[in-house]
């Protein structure tokens, strides 16, 4: 349990650094560390497959692309848009309202019974695969079609328009 | 897990770490000797007999060179870059099975640091992390050439990871497990996976060249266009770490290829040898066979480097996206049909 609290502390600590870091590249690096703590959380929950996939897909691919983009667009202090005080005040009020809503919602909740899994080894690759392809086959396939359509859409957007080219 | 087990694991980790370092060191020597052979030269021959002490001399030189951190560089990230590169290069060896179970003085122990049941995915994760060392170092140098090198490294790694992953999927369909220990044990004798997955192996080795930034895919450090690529601004041991990480990566990826496709520690007639040499020497002969395979792959890496010229950047992307990925998907389909009907 103490491991959990330590890792949870690190997660929150790095997420705060993500939004307070001055340089966008530093923020992405903190985001990578945040995702790394998520990987540890998954391992603590015995969800090894999810942990490794989070490691490969989020840390190894998506955040590399984030970093790639940020390195290319070169955000300098000079080119950063200045925000007026009005926007800052509006942001503060909006954020505070959101915080109050969340706190109220959490208070209204009664503590639910913890869900006990029938099979504590659900997160292992074999069990996860069997469940995904037996019980949840339809949602699994539908979501894969959704991802495919997003990919086709991106390719379509990126191709040159034959009229203008 | 008793204290003895922990001590054995620690000893194993230290041994593997030292072997990686020594092999990486002597790979630099081997590379120069092999290059010399291909180009009809003599190669390094001054330090010690046949120049055998050359890597030590190079290492000593690296440590003694002046350390320069550019004025506008980001100092922490500038140091973090090479450190990350060498860290990710070294941690990959943790899941590789170096041999069968050895019995020595009444103790039995595995020649593998840890057998996690998602072993292949772990290796894959470590490979995908490897690019951060190059990217962070290249960006922190605050040099346009370094930045371009870093960006090339990132796009190249992401592109080739896809076909590498797809080639591994076809392999997993054949083996049915993600644990490297089981995959190695499954290839007993001559049942090597390369016989069942020849196309998958070719895809994997091409991607391994791209992921380790070796010629013909060493665009991130293409000196004709980018001065020195991502390590233009680096000097002394920080440069040494980048170069060293490349050789360790080469060693680890050779070990992974030997384990996944070329039977690991297995060889034809191993049962006969095991029966005649006993449970201590027998498995160690298997380990020696594994290392022989690894050295062959390292030689192959060097052979290609001194034979094939570097690709152009658009050719690299074309090869990755338009040739390797469709080929890998076709390989998966053919493997699936083969498993279903035979």
- Give chain A's domains with CATH numbers: 1-75 (1.20.120.1200)
Residue A165, pLDDT above cutoff 60: no
**Residue B88 Cα, gap to closest chain A Cα (Å):** 12
Q: What six digits make up the tokens of B251?
A: 């060693």
Q: Which residues of chain B have pLDDT under 50?
A: none
What beta strand segments (E) does chain B contain?
102-104, 107-109
**CB within 8 Å: A49 and B118:** yes
Spatial contact of B120 and B178, defined as CB atoms under 8 Å apart? yes
How many whole angstroms separate alpha carbon B9 and alpha carbon B13? Answer: 6
User: Cα dihedral angle (B283, B284, B290, B292), rounded to 10 degrees?
Assistant: -140
Alpha-carbon distance of A37 to B230, in angstroms, equals: 28
Nearest chain A residue to B152, by CA: A68
Which of A33 and A80 is assigned the larger pLDDT?
Answer: A33
Residue count of chain B: 342
Residue that wins the pLDDT comparison between B142 and A139: A139
Distance between alpha carbon B188 and the CA centroid of its chain, in Å?
23
Are B125 and A60 a contacting pair at CB < 8 A? yes
Over residues A50-56, mean pLDDT: 86
Q: Which residues of A touch B158 (CB under 8 A)?
A: 61, 64-65
Interface-testing mutation among B84, B121, B142, B150, with chain A (most A C-beta atoms within 10 A):
B121
Angle between helices B119-140 and B144-175 (to 10 degrees): 180
Q: What is the pLDDT of residue A76?
A: 58
- In 3D, which of A39, A60, A37, A59 has the Cα closest to residue A51? A39
Residue A139 burial (10 A CB sphere; 0-12, 13-18, 19+): exposed
Are A64 and B147 within 8 A, CB to CB? no
Q: pLDDT-based confidence at A28, cuts 50/70/90?
A: confident
pLDDT value for A112? 67
Indicate the domain borders of chain B.
Answer: 3-341
Residue B309 C-alpha, separation from nearest chain A C-alpha, in angstroms: 27
Alpha carbons within 13 angstroms on the beta-carbon side of residue B58 total 19
Cβ distance A68 to B77 less than 8 Å, yes or no, reads no
- CB A122 within 8 Å of CB A128: yes
Q: Which residues, other chains included, contact B36 with Cβ-Cβ below 8 Å and sequence gap of 6+? A: B42, B43, B44
* Rounded to 5°, angle at Cα B250 from B12 and B328: 115
Strand-strand pairing, B107-109 and B102-104: antiparallel
Q: Does residue A164 have a pLDDT over 80?
A: no
pLDDT value of position A162: 67
**B139–A55 C-beta distance less than 8 A:** no
| Rounded Cα gap, residues B158 and B130, in angstroms | 11
| Total beta-carbon pairs less than 8 A apart between chain A and chain B | 61
Q: Tell me if B128 and A64 make a contact (CB, 8 A cut-off).
A: yes
B311 in Cβ contact with B224 (< 8 Å): no
Would you say B118 and B182 are in contact if contact means Cβ atoms under 8 Å apart?
no
The Cα–Cα gap between B84 and B63 comes to 19
pLDDT, tens only, B226-279: 777 788 888 888 888 888 888 898 898 899 988 888 888 888 877 787 778 777
pLDDT for residue A72 is more than 70: yes
Chain A positions in Cβ-Cβ contact with residue B128 (cut-off 8 Å): 55-56, 59-61, 64
CA–CA gap between residue B253 and residue B341 (Å, rounded): 33
Phi, psi dihedrals of residue B105, rounded to the nearest 5°:
60, 40
Minimum Cα–Cα distance from A62: chain B residue: B158
Q: How many residues does chain A have?
A: 165
């Amino acid at each position: 349990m103490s491991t959990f609290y330590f890792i949870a502390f690190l997660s929150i600590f790095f997420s705060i650094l993500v939004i307070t870091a001055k340089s966008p590249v530093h923020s992405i690096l903190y985001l990578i560390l945040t995702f790394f703590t998520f990987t540890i959380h998954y391992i603590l929950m015995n969800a090894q497959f999810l942990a490794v996939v989070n490691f490969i897909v989020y840390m190894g691919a998506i955040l590399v692309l984030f970093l790639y983009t940020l390195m290319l667009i070169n955000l300098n202090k000079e080119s950063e848009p200045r925000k007026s005080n009005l926007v800052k005040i509006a942001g503060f009020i909006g954020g505070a309202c959101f915080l109050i809503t969340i706190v109220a919602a959490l208070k209204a909740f009664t503590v639910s019974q913890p869900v006990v899994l029938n099979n504590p080894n659900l997160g292992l690759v074999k069990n996860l695969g069997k469940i995904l392809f037996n019980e949840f086959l339809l949602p699994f396939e539908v979501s894969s079609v959704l991802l495919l359509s997003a990919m086709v859409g991106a390719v379509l957007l990126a191709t040159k328009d034959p009229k203008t080219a | 897990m008793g204290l003895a087990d922990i001590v054995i694991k620690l000893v194993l980790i230290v041994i593997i770490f030292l072997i990686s370092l020594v092999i990486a060191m002597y790979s630099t020597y081997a590379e120069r000797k092999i290059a010399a052979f291909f180009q009809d030269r003599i190669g390094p021959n001054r330090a010690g007999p046949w120049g055998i002490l050359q890597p030590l001399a190079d290492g000593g030189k690296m440590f003694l060179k002046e350390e320069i951190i550019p004025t506008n560089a980001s100092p922490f990230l500038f140091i973090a870059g090479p450190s990350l590169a060498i860290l990710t290069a070294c941690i990959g060896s943790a899941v590789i099975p170096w041999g069968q179970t050895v019995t020595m003085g009444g103790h039995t122990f595995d020649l593998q640091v840890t057998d996690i049941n998602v072993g292949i995915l772990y290796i894959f994760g470590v490979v995908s992390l490897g690019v951060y060392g190059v990217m962070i170092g290249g960006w922190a140098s605050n040099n346009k050439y370094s930045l371009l090198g870093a960006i090339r490294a990132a796009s190249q790694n992401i592109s080739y990871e896809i076909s590498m992953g797809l080639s591994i999927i076809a392999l997993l369909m054949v083996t049915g497990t993600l644990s490297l220990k089981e995959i190695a044990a499954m290839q007993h004798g001559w049942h090597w996976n390369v016989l069942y997955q020849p196309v998958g192996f070719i895809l994997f080795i091409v991607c391994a060249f791209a992921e380790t930034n070796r010629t013909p895919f060493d665009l991130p450090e293409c000196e004709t266009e980018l001065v020195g690529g991502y390590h233009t601004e680096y000097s002394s041991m920080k440069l040494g770490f980048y170069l060293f990480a490349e050789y360790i990566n080469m060693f680890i990826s050779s070990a992974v290829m030997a384990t996944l496709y070329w039977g690991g520690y297995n060889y034809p007639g191993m049962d006969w040898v095991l029966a005649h040499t006993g449970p201590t020497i027998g498995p160690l002969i298997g380990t020696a066979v594994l290392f022989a395979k690894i050295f062959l792959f390292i030689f192959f890496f060097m052979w290609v480097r001194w034979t094939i010229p570097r690709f152009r950047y658009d050719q690299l992307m074309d090869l990755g996206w338009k040739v390797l990925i469709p080929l890998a998907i076709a390989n998966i389909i053919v493997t699936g049909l083969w498993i279903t009907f035979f």
